Structure 1
Amino acid sequence: MHAMASLVASLSYIMTFRGRLMVDLGLPPIIGHRGARGLAPENTLSGLKAAFGQGVRYVEIDAKLTQDGVVILMHDETLDRTTNGSGAVAETPYALIHTLNAAKAFPDLAPEPPPTLVEVLELVQSVGGGINIEIKPCPGRERETAAAVIDVVRATWRQPILPLLSSFQRASLEACRDLAPDLPRGYLSEIEGEDWVAEAKSLGCTTLNLGWKMLTPAQVPGLIASGLPLLLWTVNEPEVARAFLAAGATAIITDRPDIVCA
């Protein structure tokens, strides 16, 4: 019986990675932003565990390439804000980054290095969770970063609910479309007044990932009518989250899953 279940799961996984007509994104109403940025160090294993400890089972993280091509979790172009290091991530080898403390903003917590995307995907899968990987390339490495993220996902992810790959960078989304058309893509925008639906559909994106301050709840039904799930970031006020979810938003991305609940 177990062998049969395993076979079915494996076949489902293979079919998913060969493409399918319908993509089950498995999106819950609450998604942890950079793990749970308001509760623990952002883009760290402890931050992800903090989100999971609040009952969150879907997280958003930022992926960047080191100088030597390792995909790590990091939001900024430089190491300065979130670690005790300095300099550009793209100009620093992983061996050095691995010695840094990514828990700088939480001095009472144990030091920990910026994790690799491999480590993060293994952790997320261990709790049966889902993940939105935002591709944060530096200029000129948009396609390279997207390709590296895809390689890690291909090698590491074993669950039927696929990671959602998102980016503000058109070049990164084009690379994802070209290299991995079967993996779902999220169109990130903070451009007010842009035709978000048209832009997303021109790239074959699966979701709209928009800054909530550009919208009112009254606009949500029209966006949802496009057929694209709507993910709103970064919502840290419970009343705002409730209003947008009541209007039909698919998911809220938040730093504070402890106070923002569906």
Structure 2
Amino acid sequence: MTKIFAHRGASGQFPENTMLAFEKGMEAGVDGIELDVQLTKDGRIVVIHDERLDRTTSLKGFVKDTTYDVLKTANAAAGRDRAYSDVKVPLLEHVLEYAEKKEFLINIELKNSVIRYEGMEDKVLEAVKRFKLEERVILSTFNHESLALCGRLAPHIERAVLTSDVLYQADHYIKSIPASGYHPKLNSPGAADEVVRKMRNSSIKVRPYTVNRPEDMKRLFDAGADGIFTDFPAKALALLKDK
């Protein structure tokens, strides 16, 4: 059965990468959540997608140039309804503390392909281990060197290759890192039905992103995708239930 991941939480309806969005995703009944992490100026692991603060928060500038004490004062629902004016940018530990009391998967995307945050891998792994969530975490990133480093530091934690490009002999490439998951962009050749089936035969878990249209959801369910990342988890769960 295809697993449903709430992409940045239930971000189609609620402010992305916030505790509210994650909680709403869990209320919908998802199998897991997906979130993005970066490092603040003082080395704290914060949950936010963009390198810049401008799009999703009330602040401007780069995450890397902002201390957590400043960042935690920001509203994390920029452009959303005023009802979300008290929503904040969470620390990774806030999400892991919430997850510790539940039973769901957590895909942590390391946002270190644009800005190479020094020591990010160690910090994230330390947090995952501290909350004893190693068996429920999937680490993914577009920075495949970072993924290989995670494999050396914590070989028992699942890793997934994140890509928007075509990979030559993708199954061999993924295993060479080594990783066991493949997260291709929905509209890339990597998310085609025949690739999903081939990867499954290679024991590689395929979870395309970001799958928001019902017709794409149904196609991937039928192809046997191991999971999908969607902004609208309730919609995906309803379709999967009717399958």
Instruction: Say yes or no: TM over 0.5.
Output: yes
Among 126, 134, 138, the residue aligned to 2:109: 134
Is the contact made by 1:66 and 1:90 (CA closer than 8 Å) also made in structure 2? yes
Structure 2: give runs of 5+ residues left out of the alignment: none
2:6 aligned with 1:32: yes
Q: Aligned partner of 2:88: which letter? A: P
Residue equivalent to 1:227: 203
Is the contact made by 2:37 and 2:47 (CA closer than 8 Å) also made in structure 1? yes
Shift of 1:220: 1.8
Is the alpha carbon distance of 1:210 and 1:244 closer, same or farther for their aligned partners in structure 2, counting shifts above 3 Å?
A: same
Note the 1:1-262 alignment, pairs <5 A: 29-107=3-81, 108-137=83-112, 139=114, 141-156=116-131, 158-159=132-133, 161-214=135-188, 215-261=191-237, 262=240
Shift of 1:57: 3.3
Deviations 1:110-151 (CA, angstroms, capped at 9, x unpaired): 422200000001112322221000000265634511121111
Is the contact made by 1:65 and 1:90 (CA closer than 8 Å) also made in structure 2? yes
Matched residue of 1:111: which SS?
A: coil
Q: Aligned partner of 1:225: which letter? A: N
CA–CA distance in structure 2, aligned partners of residues 127 and 207 of structure 1: 23
The number of residues matched between the two structures is 235
Give the percent of matched residue pairs that are identical in Structure 1 and Structure 2. Answer: 31
Matched residue of 1:232: which SS?
A: coil
* Alignment TM-score, normalising by the size of structure 2: 0.90
CA–CA distance in structure 2, aligned partners of residues 98 and 209 of structure 1: 31
Q: Aligned partner of 1:133: which letter? A: I
Is the contact made by 2:2 and 2:224 (CA closer than 8 Å) also made in structure 1? no
Matched residue of 2:46: which SS?
A: strand
* Alignment TM-score, normalising by the size of structure 1: 0.84
Q: Aligned partner of 1:233: which letter? A: Y
Is the alpha carbon distance of 1:88 and 1:226 closer, same or farther for their aligned partners in structure 2, counting shifts above 3 Å?
A: same
Shift of 1:174: 2.1
CA–CA distance in structure 2, aligned partners of residues 226 and 57 of structure 1: 23
Matched residue of 1:123: which SS?
A: helix
Q: Aligned partner of 2:209: which letter? A: W
Shift of 1:109: 2.1
Stretches of 4+ aligned residues off by more than 4 angstroms: none
Structure 1: give runs of 5+ residues left out of the alignment: 1-26
Q: Aligned partner of 1:55: which letter? A: G
Is the contact made by 1:233 and 1:253 (CA closer than 8 Å) also made in structure 2? yes
Is the alpha carbon distance of 1:142 and 1:224 closer, same or farther for their aligned partners in structure 2, counting shifts above 3 Å?
A: farther
